[in-house]
Amino acid sequence: METAAAKKDIRKLSLDQLKEAFVAQGEKAFRAKQVYEWLWKKSAVSFQDMTNLSKPLREWLDNHFEIRALSVADEQISSDGTIKSGFKMADGNVVEGVLIPTPKRMTACISSQVGCSLSCKFCATGTLARLRNLDTAEIYDQVVAITKQAENNYQQPLTNIVYMGMGEPLMNYKGLLESVEKITSPEGLGMSPKRITVSTAGIARYIKKLADDDVRFNLALSLHAANDEKRSEIMPINDSNSLDALAEALKYFLTKTKNSITYEYIIFKDFNDSLLDAKELVKFCRRVPAKVNIIEYNPIDDGKFEKAPEERVDAFASHVEKAGIQVNIRRSRGKDIDAACGQLANKNDAVKK
């Protein structure tokens, strides 16, 4: 009998590879399609759940393969109904994901990496070492788990997914695109790609690659400052991906895909909340049209920044809106459980840089 360590992770196999394995075993190729459906459409976590397969076939699968599903290691519920989960993976690493319930939406905020390498100065995840990328199944499993939370706690289906948790999605390009495919395809969860938004700190060459790969999801750029000096101060990645380079890449993305672009702008007291900052943001929006989400800052341990006063935020938003740009002010959700934007850091099990 083979040991568990020798078993293959079945979700790393394509449908064609599964068919080859089944035919080599003397099984009909259509059995592979049944298993594939159990894995990606029905989200099965055990071969014994695959009730339309014979018992000997299930035993063969058990002996040769495994489903390395993540588990919910801990769960916290905020006073506003936001649910933050620590998801434990087969290798023991933990990432965080969040369910954000509102009257009109049930949004899953999911992670793409264990830690992050970008070191943005305002983000708790940026203080962690990047250990590895998540694989397709690990990203997919977060969506499945958060969907269950929405249904069990709010009797509502999941409506939206944002890749805005731990990590930079474009630095896990393969995992990003493959997970979106599993989440959106009819053979998977069947969610519309228009309900998915991928947030990036801004890597120009990958933004162009998204356009060339004809993606159908929406893109959000973590902008936070519309001049290079300020942006580089809080986001080191700007040194190699200037606003000019990003504007060119975003224009290319918009022209090729016609997908929606949003600029995320976390507003900090006395750093990027002045009228001049608002004028610079308007100027950048005129280069590449987009919606703007102004996000209130959520303080982190050892953070150097403070939340901008509400009246200052409102004046900033008003100036941008008067320029004809669509603006939303995003108030924090889940702040009391460190589930708000920029606060995900696995405090119980963090590896600092």
Distance, CA of 279 to chain centre: 30
Residue 251 three-state SS? helix
**CA-to-CA distance for 130 and 113, rounded, in angstroms?**
7
In DSSP notation, 181-250 reads HHHHSTTTT---GGGEEEEES--HHHHHHHHHTT--SEEEEE-S-SSHHHHHHH-GGGGTS-HHHHHHHH
Among 206, 104, 227, 129, smallest CA distance to 163 is for 206
Distance, CA of 214 to chain centre: 19
**CA-to-CA distance for 57 and 339, rounded, in angstroms?**
43
Per DSSP, 92 falls in state: S
Residue 75 three-state SS? strand
Return the amino acid letter for 83: I
CB-facing half-sphere around the CA of 207: CA atoms within 13 A:
25
**CA-to-CA distance for 197 and 215, rounded, in angstroms?**
11
Return the amino acid letter for 26: G
Among 6, 114, 135, 144, smallest CA distance to 65 is for 6
Token duo for residue 94: 């933990």
Q: So which residues are the catalytic ones?
A: 96, 341
Backbone phi and psi for residue 40, each to the nearest 5 degrees, phi listed first? -105, -25
